[in-house]
Amino acid sequence: MTIVTNTFHTGSAKTNRESLSDVVSRITPEDTPIFSSIPHTEAKATYEEWSSEALSSPAANAQLEGDEFTYAAVTASKRFGNYTQILRKDWVVSATQDKVSNVGKAEQSANQRVKKGIELRKDIEFAIVSNTASVSGQTRKFGGVPTWFESDTSSRGASTGAAGGFQTDGMTDVAVAGTFRTYTKALLDSTLQKCYTTGSNVKVAQVSPYAKGVFSSFMKSDGVVPVRQATSKKAITLVATAEIYLGDFGEVVFVPNRIMAGSTAMASNVLLLDPSMLEFRFLRKIQDVEDLAKTGDATKGVIVAEGTLVNKNPLAHGVIADIFGTTAAT
Protein backbone atom coordinates (compact mmCIF):
# COMPACT_ATOMS: atom_id res chain seq x y z
CA MET A 1 0.00 0.00 0.00
CA THR A 2 1.20 3.51 -0.77
CA ILE A 3 0.23 7.03 0.27
CA VAL A 4 -0.91 9.40 -2.46
CA THR A 5 1.91 11.75 -3.35
CA ASN A 6 1.99 14.99 -1.33
CA THR A 7 -0.74 13.85 1.12
CA PHE A 8 -0.52 15.95 4.29
CA HIS A 9 -1.05 13.48 7.16
CA THR A 10 -1.07 13.52 10.96
CA GLY A 11 2.55 12.44 11.18
CA SER A 12 3.56 15.71 9.55
CA ALA A 13 1.23 17.95 11.51
CA LYS A 14 2.72 20.09 14.28
CA THR A 15 -0.41 21.70 15.77
CA ASN A 16 -2.80 18.77 16.37
CA ARG A 17 -3.79 18.43 20.01
CA GLU A 18 -2.86 15.25 21.84
CA SER A 19 -5.61 12.66 22.17
CA LEU A 20 -6.35 13.44 25.80
CA SER A 21 -9.72 13.81 27.44
CA ASP A 22 -10.90 17.29 28.38
CA VAL A 23 -12.54 15.75 31.41
CA VAL A 24 -10.19 15.50 34.36
CA SER A 25 -10.69 12.16 36.09
CA ARG A 26 -9.94 12.26 39.80
CA ILE A 27 -8.70 8.91 41.06
CA THR A 28 -9.10 10.04 44.68
CA PRO A 29 -12.61 9.18 45.93
CA GLU A 30 -14.80 12.08 46.98
CA ASP A 31 -17.17 10.31 49.36
CA THR A 32 -17.62 11.47 52.95
CA PRO A 33 -19.97 8.85 54.46
CA ILE A 34 -20.53 10.32 57.93
CA PHE A 35 -20.38 14.03 57.10
CA SER A 36 -22.81 13.55 54.20
CA SER A 37 -25.30 11.49 56.19
CA ILE A 38 -25.84 13.75 59.23
CA PRO A 39 -27.73 17.07 59.42
CA HIS A 40 -25.82 20.31 58.86
CA THR A 41 -27.05 23.06 61.16
CA GLU A 42 -25.93 26.48 62.36
CA ALA A 43 -23.54 27.18 65.23
CA LYS A 44 -23.76 30.37 67.26
CA ALA A 45 -20.42 30.36 69.08
CA THR A 46 -16.93 28.87 68.98
CA TYR A 47 -17.94 26.55 71.82
CA GLU A 48 -21.29 24.92 71.06
CA GLU A 49 -23.21 23.44 73.98
CA TRP A 50 -26.23 21.17 74.29
CA SER A 51 -27.79 18.94 76.90
CA SER A 52 -29.22 15.45 77.15
CA GLU A 53 -31.20 13.56 79.71
CA ALA A 54 -32.17 9.99 80.49
CA LEU A 55 -35.37 8.38 81.72
CA SER A 56 -35.32 6.67 85.09
CA SER A 57 -35.13 2.89 85.02
CA PRO A 58 -38.49 1.04 85.04
CA ALA A 59 -39.56 0.08 88.56
CA ALA A 60 -42.56 -1.28 90.47
CA ASN A 61 -45.21 1.46 90.75
CA ALA A 62 -48.28 0.69 92.88
CA GLN A 63 -49.56 3.46 95.16
CA LEU A 64 -51.68 3.53 98.33
CA GLU A 65 -55.23 4.71 97.89
CA GLY A 66 -55.65 8.13 99.48
CA ASP A 67 -51.89 8.49 99.98
CA GLU A 68 -50.28 11.89 100.55
CA PHE A 69 -48.10 12.95 97.61
CA THR A 70 -44.32 13.04 97.91
CA TYR A 71 -42.05 14.70 95.39
CA ALA A 72 -38.87 13.28 93.93
CA ALA A 73 -35.84 15.46 93.31
CA VAL A 74 -35.34 16.53 89.71
CA THR A 75 -32.21 15.17 88.07
CA ALA A 76 -30.28 17.82 86.17
CA SER A 77 -29.65 17.29 82.47
CA LYS A 78 -26.12 16.48 81.35
CA ARG A 79 -24.39 19.32 79.58
CA PHE A 80 -22.03 18.74 76.65
CA GLY A 81 -19.99 20.93 74.33
CA ASN A 82 -17.47 20.93 71.50
CA TYR A 83 -15.21 23.59 69.99
CA THR A 84 -15.44 24.75 66.40
CA GLN A 85 -12.50 23.97 64.15
CA ILE A 86 -11.30 26.20 61.31
CA LEU A 87 -10.42 24.38 58.08
CA ARG A 88 -8.82 26.01 55.06
CA LYS A 89 -7.65 25.20 51.53
CA ASP A 90 -5.79 27.62 49.26
CA TRP A 91 -4.17 27.85 45.82
CA VAL A 92 -2.49 30.29 43.45
CA VAL A 93 -2.39 30.07 39.65
CA SER A 94 -0.48 32.45 37.37
CA ALA A 95 -2.56 34.70 35.12
CA THR A 96 -0.87 33.16 32.08
CA GLN A 97 -1.72 29.61 33.14
CA ASP A 98 -5.34 30.65 33.58
CA LYS A 99 -5.43 31.67 29.90
CA VAL A 100 -3.45 28.78 28.43
CA SER A 101 -5.54 25.96 26.95
CA ASN A 102 -4.69 22.91 29.03
CA VAL A 103 -6.19 19.45 29.13
CA GLY A 104 -9.40 19.42 31.11
CA LYS A 105 -8.61 22.89 32.50
CA ALA A 106 -7.19 20.96 35.45
CA GLU A 107 -4.60 23.58 36.30
CA GLN A 108 -6.88 26.61 36.01
CA SER A 109 -8.14 28.47 39.07
CA ALA A 110 -11.85 27.63 38.58
CA ASN A 111 -11.10 23.91 38.65
CA GLN A 112 -8.79 24.35 41.63
CA ARG A 113 -11.68 25.93 43.53
CA VAL A 114 -13.86 22.87 42.96
CA LYS A 115 -11.03 20.47 43.80
CA LYS A 116 -10.12 22.28 47.03
CA GLY A 117 -13.77 22.35 48.11
CA ILE A 118 -13.93 18.56 47.80
CA GLU A 119 -10.65 18.18 49.69
CA LEU A 120 -11.95 20.37 52.52
CA ARG A 121 -15.07 18.19 52.91
CA LYS A 122 -12.80 15.13 53.11
CA ASP A 123 -10.74 16.89 55.79
CA ILE A 124 -13.94 17.35 57.83
CA GLU A 125 -14.63 13.62 57.50
CA PHE A 126 -11.04 12.92 58.57
CA ALA A 127 -11.53 15.01 61.72
CA ILE A 128 -14.85 13.28 62.47
CA VAL A 129 -13.36 9.75 62.42
CA SER A 130 -10.08 10.70 64.15
CA ASN A 131 -9.30 9.97 67.80
CA THR A 132 -8.50 13.66 68.36
CA ALA A 133 -9.58 15.33 71.59
CA SER A 134 -11.18 18.76 71.60
CA VAL A 135 -8.78 21.69 71.89
CA SER A 136 -9.58 25.25 73.01
CA GLY A 137 -7.71 28.44 72.17
CA GLN A 138 -7.00 30.03 68.82
CA THR A 139 -6.13 26.80 66.95
CA ARG A 140 -9.27 25.04 68.08
CA LYS A 141 -10.19 21.43 67.32
CA PHE A 142 -13.45 19.58 67.75
CA GLY A 143 -13.42 16.18 69.42
CA GLY A 144 -13.84 13.41 66.84
CA VAL A 145 -16.34 10.57 67.19
CA PRO A 146 -13.84 8.12 68.80
CA THR A 147 -13.28 10.53 71.72
CA TRP A 148 -16.97 10.55 72.71
CA PHE A 149 -17.63 6.88 73.42
CA GLU A 150 -18.52 5.76 76.93
CA SER A 151 -17.32 2.49 78.47
CA ASP A 152 -20.95 1.28 78.76
CA THR A 153 -21.21 1.01 74.95
CA SER A 154 -17.60 0.11 74.13
CA SER A 155 -15.67 -3.08 73.53
CA ARG A 156 -11.94 -2.57 73.89
CA GLY A 157 -8.79 -4.63 73.75
CA ALA A 158 -7.25 -6.05 76.90
CA SER A 159 -4.62 -4.36 79.03
CA THR A 160 -4.64 -0.56 78.50
CA GLY A 161 -7.81 -0.17 76.42
CA ALA A 162 -9.94 2.66 77.83
CA ALA A 163 -12.61 5.07 76.63
CA GLY A 164 -11.93 8.80 76.46
CA GLY A 165 -15.29 10.51 76.77
CA PHE A 166 -16.55 13.96 77.69
CA GLN A 167 -14.78 15.35 80.76
CA THR A 168 -15.84 17.70 83.56
CA ASP A 169 -13.63 20.44 82.11
CA GLY A 170 -15.88 20.62 79.04
CA MET A 171 -13.46 18.77 76.73
CA THR A 172 -13.31 15.31 75.22
CA ASP A 173 -10.37 13.02 75.88
CA VAL A 174 -8.66 10.56 73.54
CA ALA A 175 -9.41 6.87 73.81
CA VAL A 176 -6.46 4.73 74.90
CA ALA A 177 -5.62 1.80 72.63
CA GLY A 178 -5.61 -1.70 74.05
CA THR A 179 -4.27 -4.98 72.72
CA PHE A 180 -5.30 -5.47 69.10
CA ARG A 181 -7.51 -8.46 68.32
CA THR A 182 -9.33 -10.10 65.42
CA TYR A 183 -12.72 -8.66 64.52
CA THR A 184 -15.31 -11.39 65.06
CA LYS A 185 -19.07 -11.85 64.92
CA ALA A 186 -19.03 -12.51 68.66
CA LEU A 187 -17.54 -9.05 69.26
CA LEU A 188 -20.18 -7.49 67.05
CA ASP A 189 -23.07 -9.26 68.77
CA SER A 190 -21.89 -8.57 72.31
CA THR A 191 -21.27 -4.86 71.62
CA LEU A 192 -24.64 -4.42 69.92
CA GLN A 193 -26.20 -6.00 73.01
CA LYS A 194 -24.38 -3.52 75.27
CA CYS A 195 -25.61 -0.64 73.12
CA TYR A 196 -29.19 -1.89 73.09
CA THR A 197 -29.24 -2.47 76.85
CA THR A 198 -27.97 1.07 77.43
CA GLY A 199 -30.71 2.52 75.23
CA SER A 200 -29.02 3.21 71.91
CA ASN A 201 -30.50 2.31 68.53
CA VAL A 202 -27.52 1.59 66.30
CA LYS A 203 -28.40 2.04 62.63
CA VAL A 204 -25.05 2.32 60.84
CA ALA A 205 -21.59 0.79 61.26
CA GLN A 206 -18.72 2.76 59.72
CA VAL A 207 -15.73 0.51 59.06
CA SER A 208 -12.45 0.44 57.17
CA PRO A 209 -12.48 -1.37 53.79
CA TYR A 210 -10.60 -4.31 55.29
CA ALA A 211 -13.01 -4.58 58.23
CA LYS A 212 -15.90 -4.48 55.77
CA GLY A 213 -14.45 -7.56 54.09
CA VAL A 214 -14.13 -9.29 57.44
CA PHE A 215 -17.77 -8.48 58.16
CA SER A 216 -18.81 -10.07 54.85
CA SER A 217 -17.03 -13.25 55.93
CA PHE A 218 -19.50 -13.50 58.84
CA MET A 219 -21.90 -15.03 56.29
CA LYS A 220 -19.94 -18.25 56.79
CA SER A 221 -20.51 -18.25 60.55
CA ASP A 222 -22.76 -20.81 62.19
CA GLY A 223 -26.34 -19.64 62.59
CA VAL A 224 -26.11 -17.01 59.83
CA VAL A 225 -28.64 -17.29 57.01
CA PRO A 226 -27.73 -15.14 53.98
CA VAL A 227 -30.70 -13.51 52.24
CA ARG A 228 -30.50 -13.30 48.46
CA GLN A 229 -32.32 -10.51 46.67
CA ALA A 230 -33.37 -10.73 43.02
CA THR A 231 -32.11 -8.02 40.68
CA SER A 232 -33.53 -6.69 37.43
CA LYS A 233 -30.25 -7.26 35.60
CA LYS A 234 -30.18 -9.97 32.98
CA ALA A 235 -26.64 -10.96 33.86
CA ILE A 236 -26.08 -13.35 36.76
CA THR A 237 -24.83 -11.59 39.88
CA LEU A 238 -22.50 -13.47 42.19
CA VAL A 239 -23.21 -12.28 45.73
CA ALA A 240 -20.06 -12.47 47.86
CA THR A 241 -20.64 -9.61 50.25
CA ALA A 242 -22.96 -8.42 52.99
CA GLU A 243 -24.12 -4.86 53.63
CA ILE A 244 -26.95 -5.20 56.16
CA TYR A 245 -26.78 -7.14 59.40
CA LEU A 246 -30.13 -8.16 60.87
CA GLY A 247 -29.24 -9.33 64.34
CA ASP A 248 -31.03 -9.72 67.64
CA PHE A 249 -31.13 -5.96 68.20
CA GLY A 250 -32.22 -4.59 64.86
CA GLU A 251 -30.88 -3.87 61.41
CA VAL A 252 -27.44 -2.32 60.98
CA VAL A 253 -26.11 -1.04 57.64
CA PHE A 254 -22.35 -1.54 57.20
CA VAL A 255 -20.66 1.30 55.31
CA PRO A 256 -17.01 1.06 54.17
CA ASN A 257 -15.24 4.34 54.86
CA ARG A 258 -12.12 4.90 52.75
CA ILE A 259 -10.84 7.66 54.99
CA MET A 260 -10.71 5.22 57.93
CA ALA A 261 -8.13 3.24 55.94
CA GLY A 262 -5.75 6.19 56.25
CA SER A 263 -4.11 4.93 59.43
CA THR A 264 -4.03 1.86 61.66
CA ALA A 265 -5.57 3.90 64.49
CA MET A 266 -8.62 4.94 62.48
CA ALA A 267 -9.03 1.50 60.90
CA SER A 268 -9.00 -0.17 64.33
CA ASN A 269 -12.52 1.09 65.15
CA VAL A 270 -15.93 -0.21 64.14
CA LEU A 271 -18.09 2.87 64.72
CA LEU A 272 -21.64 1.84 65.68
CA LEU A 273 -23.70 4.98 65.15
CA ASP A 274 -27.20 6.38 65.27
CA PRO A 275 -26.92 9.18 62.67
CA SER A 276 -30.03 10.92 64.02
CA MET A 277 -28.05 11.62 67.19
CA LEU A 278 -25.22 13.39 65.36
CA GLU A 279 -25.04 16.69 63.51
CA PHE A 280 -22.43 19.06 62.16
CA ARG A 281 -22.87 22.70 63.12
CA PHE A 282 -21.30 25.35 60.89
CA LEU A 283 -20.25 28.67 62.36
CA ARG A 284 -19.05 29.50 58.86
CA LYS A 285 -20.21 27.31 56.00
CA ILE A 286 -17.74 26.26 53.29
CA GLN A 287 -17.12 29.53 51.47
CA ASP A 288 -14.69 31.61 49.43
CA VAL A 289 -12.62 34.27 51.15
CA GLU A 290 -13.40 37.44 49.20
CA ASP A 291 -11.19 40.42 48.36
CA LEU A 292 -7.82 38.73 48.66
CA ALA A 293 -4.93 41.16 48.23
CA LYS A 294 -3.56 41.31 44.67
CA THR A 295 0.22 41.09 45.05
CA GLY A 296 1.41 39.52 41.82
CA ASP A 297 0.55 38.35 38.33
CA ALA A 298 -1.55 35.45 39.59
CA THR A 299 -5.02 34.46 40.77
CA LYS A 300 -5.21 33.46 44.43
CA GLY A 301 -7.98 31.54 46.10
CA VAL A 302 -8.88 30.50 49.61
CA ILE A 303 -11.78 28.37 50.83
CA VAL A 304 -12.53 28.27 54.53
CA ALA A 305 -15.05 26.65 56.86
CA GLU A 306 -15.58 26.56 60.59
CA GLY A 307 -17.75 24.08 62.43
CA THR A 308 -18.03 21.39 65.06
CA LEU A 309 -19.37 17.90 65.62
CA VAL A 310 -22.40 17.60 67.88
CA ASN A 311 -22.93 14.28 69.63
CA LYS A 312 -26.40 14.71 71.14
CA ASN A 313 -25.96 11.81 73.54
CA PRO A 314 -22.72 9.81 73.75
CA LEU A 315 -24.62 6.70 74.92
CA ALA A 316 -26.48 6.66 71.59
CA HIS A 317 -23.41 5.17 69.91
CA GLY A 318 -20.96 2.34 70.46
CA VAL A 319 -17.57 1.14 69.27
CA ILE A 320 -15.65 -2.07 68.77
CA ALA A 321 -12.12 -0.78 69.26
CA ASP A 322 -8.64 -2.23 68.88
CA ILE A 323 -9.38 -4.58 65.97
CA PHE A 324 -7.07 -5.51 63.12
CA GLY A 325 -8.48 -3.06 60.59
CA THR A 326 -5.92 -2.93 57.78
CA THR A 327 -4.61 -6.51 57.53
CA ALA A 328 -5.03 -9.77 59.40
CA ALA A 329 -2.29 -8.67 61.81
CA THR A 330 -2.49 -4.85 61.93
Task: Give one DSSP letter per residue of 242-286, joined into a string.
Answer: --EEEETTEEEEEEE-GGGGGSHHHHT-EEEE-GGGEEEEEEEEE
Residue 62 counted as domain residue: no
Supply the pLDDT for residue 24: 44
Q: Residue 275's domain is classified under what CATH number?
A: 3.90.1690
Confidence (pLDDT) at 1: 60
For residue 4, pLDDT beyond 60: no
E-strand spans in the chain? Answer: 40-42, 47-52, 78-83, 85-94, 154-155, 165-166, 172-173, 204-207, 244-247, 250-256, 270-273, 278-288, 298-311, 318-320
Query: 27 or 130: which carries more pLDDT confidence?
Result: 130
- Work out how many domains the chain is built from and give that number: 1
Whole domain around residue 282: which residue ranges?
33-52+78-227+238-320
> pLDDT for 268-281, tens place per residue?
999 999 999 999 99
Query: Which residues are CB-contacts of 133 (< 8 A; sequence separation ≥ 6)?
Result: 141, 143, 147, 164, 171, 172, 173, 174
The answer to whether residue 282 sits within a structural domain is yes
Supply the pLDDT for residue 205: 97
- What pLDDT score was predicted for residue 19? 45
Per-residue pLDDT at 228: 58
Rounded-to-integer distance, Cα 303 and Cα 286, Å: 7
What pTM was estimated for this model as a whole?
A: 0.85
How far the first Cα of the chain sits from its last, in Å, is 62
Q: Is residue 60 part of a domain?
A: no
- pLDDT at residue 264 is higher than 60: yes
**Least confident window among 1-15, 50-64, 225-239, 244-258:** 1-15
Q: Is position 167 within any domain?
A: yes
pLDDT (0 to 100) of residue 193: 97
In a domain? residue 67: no
pLDDT score recorded for residue 94: 85
Burial class (CB in 10 A: 0-12, 13-18, 19+), 260: buried
List pLDDT tens digits, range 198-211.
Answer: 999 999 999 999 99
CA-to-CA dists, residue 87 to 136, 141, 170, 299, 302, angstroms: 15, 10, 22, 21, 11
Low-confidence winner among 42-46, 125-129, 171-175, 297-301 (lowest mean pLDDT): 297-301
What is the C-alpha to C-alpha distance for residues 86 and 124, in angstroms, rounded to an integer? 10
Q: How far is CA 113 from the centre of its chain?
A: 23
In single-letter form, the type of residue at position 83 comes to Y
pLDDT at 112: 84
Domain assignment present for residue 65? The answer is no
Q: 29-43, 168-182, 193-207, 309-323: lowest mean pLDDT where?
A: 29-43
61-104, pLDDT tens digit by residue?
999 999 999 999 998 889 999 999 999 999 888 888 877 765 55
* 234 compared with 205, residue with greater pLDDT: 205
280, part of any domain: yes
Residue 58 lies in a domain: no
More confident residue, 283 or 16: 283
Tell me: pLDDT of 195 over 90. yes
> Which residue from 64, 30, 77 is spatially nearest to 312, judged by alpha carbons?
77
